[in-house]
Amino acid sequence: LGSDDHRLCSLEGVDICVFRIGGDNVGNQVIRNTFDYSGSAGETFVVHANIRGSSIPVNRFGFRVTLTDTVGGVSQNINLIAPSGTYLFTVIAQPFTANINFDQVTITGGTSGANGTMWVDDVYLLPNP
């Protein structure tokens, strides 16, 4: 993240903490969390985020969930694309089915070298019964 990107705990009088990700139209700006979690092919999940956007270009901000089999060296990517435009906090969610056995999960959020700003809260991955 760039120097202007940081954790904000008071945004327009709302008592929540969010991360601000601002694009610079050059490099990728991302936040990332990797954790150990084992699952099997065929399991279903939903990735969820509460986001606010300002001047978000089409298909340039969002999230990627990567399921990885660290022993076999294979992975599966699931993309959750932020809507374009300017808007108040909006929930975006994407259900998916794992197509590999995995032992590690990475969630990455941000921009791929675009302008615009995204505020992020409540990013999580849950089993989808």
Q: HSE (CB half, 13 Å, CA atoms) of 94? A: 16
- Phi, psi for residue 94 in degrees, rounded to 5: -140, 110
Which helix (H) or strand (E) is 26 found in, with range?
A: none
CA nearest neighbour of 5 among 129, 120, 107 = 120
Query: For residue 87, is pLDDT > 80?
Result: yes
82 secondary structure, DSSP code: P
Query: For residue 63, is pLDDT > 80?
Result: yes
Q: What is the mean pLDDT of residues 24-40?
A: 86
Residue bearing the bigger pLDDT, 57 or 112: 57
Predicted local confidence at residue 111, as pLDDT: 85
Quick one: pLDDT band at residue 5, thresholds 50, 70, 90? very low
Q: What is the pTM of this model?
A: 0.83
Q: HSE (CB half, 13 Å, CA atoms) of 42? A: 1
